[in-house]
Amino acid sequence: MWDSHWEKVFQDREWGRYPAEDLVRFMGRNYYNVPNRKQVKILEVGSGTGANLWYLAKEGFDVTGIEGSKTGVERSIKRLKEDGLSARVMVGDVIKLPFEDDYFDCVVDIECIYANSYGDSKKIIREIRRTLKPGGKLFSKTLMSGTSGDGKGQRLEGEENTYIEFDEGAFRRDGRLTRFTAEKEIGDLYNEFNMVSLDYSVRTEKNREIEIKEWLIICQKKT
Ligand SMILES: C[S@@+](CC[C@H](N)C(=O)[O-])C[C@H]1O[C@@H](n2cnc3c(N)ncnc32)[C@H](O)[C@@H]1O
């Protein structure tokens, strides 16, 4: 279920305006050489204020974004319009996607699913699978266990790696739900997909006081 703390985040502050580097790399390797980009239907789940939608539309793909925050969606539409770009952007909870089966060629999750409980994340990934065409790809960039803060907060009841509050680390702040994915959970979360590649990135901040680890998961809907 969408966590409404995000509405306040987008009302109160600026958010990144440029796409995730890992997304650019994924798109370059998988979709830049297609004969007609307009025929490649891409969905971003949890599209925030639209940085990735802006990039995908600028690169000429057929782009859809769905996002829980009304402010996020409004800011996305404004930005696209300013640059004469088009994408379908709507407010909604990604736990139930308002799209038909086998519709998208590709779905991207740039740190959206981690902001949901484990149970809801499973439902979201099942919905993504339903709306992907057979053979379609999911790129999921998602917080990894071992990131600073993991194990240092108030856990969501009944869940091992989901937190509603932190004492210290990278995510100490405003009660937003944060879930870290452990390696052993990946098979269960992304089941019914073929795993194409499982990598991760690590970066440090504050003179190495904080370490942020993110899974870079590429998987494909079985044909
Ligand atoms: C860390 S932000 C990332 C935003 C964007 N993908 C980006 O890279 O700039 C997480 C986003 O996912 C959205 N989100 C998380 N869970 C969601 C859900 N269940 N339904 C709709 N949006 C969701 C949040 O509202 C927020 O905009």
- Locate 8 and state its tokens: 């306040």
How close is the Cα of 202 to the center of ligand 1, in Å? 21
Pocket test for ligand 1, best of 18, 23, 112 (most atoms within 8 A of CB): 112
Question: What pLDDT digit, counting tens, does each position of 59-68 carry?
Answer: 999 999 999 9
Question: What pLDDT digit, counting tens, does each position of 52-61 carry?
Answer: 999 999 999 9
* CA–CA distance, 2 with 67 (Å, rounded to integer): 9
* CA–CA distance, 159 with 145 (Å, rounded to integer): 13
**CA proximity to 4, closest of 179, 181, 175, 180:** 175
How close is the Cα of 74 to the center of ligand 1, in Å? 14
Question: What pLDDT digit, counting tens, does each position of 89-133 carry?
Answer: 999 999 999 999 999 999 999 999 999 999 999 999 999 999 999
Structural contact between residues 49 and 72, judged by C-beta atoms closer than 8 angstroms: yes
**pLDDT greater than 70 at residue 13:** yes
Cβ-Cβ contacts under 8 Å for 84 (sequence gap 6 or more): none
**Quick one: residue 77, left, alpha or beta (phi over 0 = left, psi -120 to 50 = alpha)?**
alpha
Q: Are strands 153-155 and 210-221 parallel, antiparallel or unpaired?
A: unpaired
**pLDDT greater than 90 at residue 216:** yes
Mean pLDDT of 141-152: 94
pLDDT at 169: 76
- Locate 27 and state its tokens: 């798109």
pLDDT over 90, % of the chain: 84
Question: What pLDDT digit, counting tens, does each position of 148-164 carry?
Answer: 999 988 999 999 999 99
Ligand 1 contact, 169 CB (< 6 A): no
pLDDT at 3: 86
Q: Which residue's alpha carbon is nearest to atom 9 within ligand 1?
A: 48
SS3 4: coil
- Locate 129 and state its tokens: 């699978």
Structural contact between residues 31 and 40, judged by C-beta atoms closer than 8 angstroms: yes
**pLDDT greater than 80 at residue 172:** no
* CA–CA distance, 117 with 97 (Å, rounded to integer): 17
pTM for this structure? Answer: 0.97
